[in-house]
Amino acid sequence: MTVPTPLLLGAALAVALSAAPQGPARAQSATAPQIALPCAGCHGPNGAGEGPVPRIAGYDRQAFLQTWSAFRANERPATIMNRIARGYTDAEVGQLADYFATLR
C-alpha cells in the first residue's frame, strides 16, 4: 500500500509545527536594536543619555551584565530599572549588553 503524498506532507508539517518553540508570540529572533527600542524613550536615542537618565552607550559588556542582575535582585538603588530588568530574558540581556557596548 502506498501513502498518498498529501498525507505525507501533512505529517511532515505536523512534525515541523510541533517542533517549533512554544510560548507567547514574542519573536524569538528580535534584533538587538528592536529589543533596545524602548530604552531610547528614557535613555535617549542610541542610549546617549537624556536629562537625569544616565548614558548607556558604550557601557562595558561585563559591567552591563552585573548592573542588570543587581537591578533584578534589588541590590542596586533604582527608581525604575529594577522593574524593567525583570522584563527581559537572559538571552535578551546578552543581546542588549553586546549592543550598547558597541554604541558610541
Give the residues lining the site for ligand HEC (CB under 6 A). 36, 38-39, 41-43, 53-54, 56, 59, 64, 67, 78-81, 84, 96
Q: Are 36 and 103 in contact (CB under 8 A)?
A: no
Which residue lies nearer to ligand HEC by CB, 10 or 39?
39
> With the C-alpha atoms ordered 23, 29, 30, 33, is the resulting torsion angle positive or negative?
positive
Provide the minimum distance between the beta carbon of 65 and ligand HEC in the complex, in angstroms, as a whole number. 10
Q: Are 96 and 87 in contact (CB under 8 A)?
A: no
Provide the minimum distance between the beta carbon of 50 and ligand HEC in the complex, in angstroms, as a whole number. 9
Which residue lies nearer to ligand HEC by CB, 36 or 46?
36
Provide the minimum distance between the beta carbon of 23 and ligand HEC in the complex, in angstroms, as a whole number. 20
Which residue lies nearer to ligand HEC by CB, 2 or 79?
79
Q: Are 25 and 78 in contact (CB under 8 A)?
A: no
Residue holding cell 522584563? 87
Which residue lies nearer to ligand HEC by CB, 8 or 30?
30
Q: Are 35 and 46 in contact (CB under 8 A)?
A: no
